[in-house]
Homo-oligomer: A and B are copies of this chain.
């Protein structure tokens, strides 16, 4: 078990469960009973130099912080109502910085009907944003636990593009020695590819319409949003469900833009798709008799959805390659150790 997951496990064991808490720490969000029905709540933080590069446009940052928080709700099959925003910002900044952060966050929330209702400001050496979002399930709450052997594994979007976008942003900022050393520059990418990769990193799209469909139509037995890396998050879903998740190498969606970047930078596109992180796509499992629903996803879901693997009895997450099964549950970002 990875340090971050071990932390959550130790915390869960130490906490006394209350009846009103349907899902506590360890899922994408928490679900609590309230007199008016279940609430789904979640919180996410972005920290300068950890989750984003210094000098990032505040208008982008506030938007991204909200998108990241909403992605957790999407994975639970919930729709947001309102959110709180905490901003830490350095003494050197004027009030324009937190205002730009807050306004871009508020605007992003409004796109999904989620109001910014309050927050807190604090001085801090680095910029950080912490978003807490509340919403309601659109049907039965979708959890990480629930996948069953025989289920089909689906993934939205194009994993690894965000990681490539981060590498491009770093190279553009002149901060990536490895880029210089590898002898590539972002200018060597076709403009549409570079634009697409940067957007994947800087402006992820919370898969709320897809998550809503999963909950409303009871299409998913389990789901997780891919934030730390497809491999590690597949491993989390597998562990929560007590099953084995097998991703099939030939079905892993590798976008042309990612392939172009990988070739330019001398990286392995599949490894980037598995370990990249920051994707904010939904990985979910579906009973075989419902899998047909995804052969032609309606446009209002707003995302491509692709069958990427299968659920078996056993444990762990694996990539099935020509030479056999390779464990992937360690491929990704861990807030306790691996530096992105």
Contacts and interface: CB of A to CB of B under 8 A. Distances in A.
Interface of A: 3-4, 6-7, 10-11, 14-16, 18, 20-21, 24-25, 27, 29-30, 32, 34-37, 39, 41-47, 49-51, 81-82, 84-86, 88, 91, 95, 98-99, 102-103, 106, 110, 115-126, 128, 130, 132, 134, 335-336, 339
Given A45-B130, A126-B125, A130-B86, A117 B30 contact: yes
B41 A98 contact: no
Contact of A119 (B35, B43, B106): B43
A56 to B, nearest CB: 16
A122 B35 contact: no
B50 A123 contact: yes
Nearest to A44: B120
B34 A81 contact: yes
A194 B116 CA distance: 42
A175 B99 CA distance: 33
Given A95-B336, A121-B335, 11 more contacts: A10-B95, A20-B81, A21-B117, A41-B132, A41-B134, A43-B86, A44-B86, A45-B120, A47-B124, A50-B123, A122-B335
B115 A50 contact: no
Among A42, A46, A116, A132, the one with the most B-chain Cβ atoms within 10 Å of its Cβ is A132
Among A7, A29, A37, the one with the most B-chain Cβ atoms within 10 Å of its Cβ is A7
A334 to B, nearest CB: 10
Contacts of A6: 95
Nearest to A31: B117
15 contacts: A7-B99, A14-B106, A21-B82, A27-B118, A30-B82, A34-B36, A34-B39, A39-B134, A43-B120, A44-B120, A47-B88, A50-B124, A122-B128, A128-B128, A130-B130
A246 to B, nearest CB: 29
Contact of A34 (B34, B86, B116): B34
A6 B95 CA distance: 9
Contact of A50 (B4, B32, B50, B122): B122
A140 to B, nearest CB: 17
Contacts of A42: 84, 118
Nearest to A85: B43
Give me the 4 closest cross-chain CB pairs, A-B, nearest first. A36-B36, A35-B36, A132-B132, A30-B117
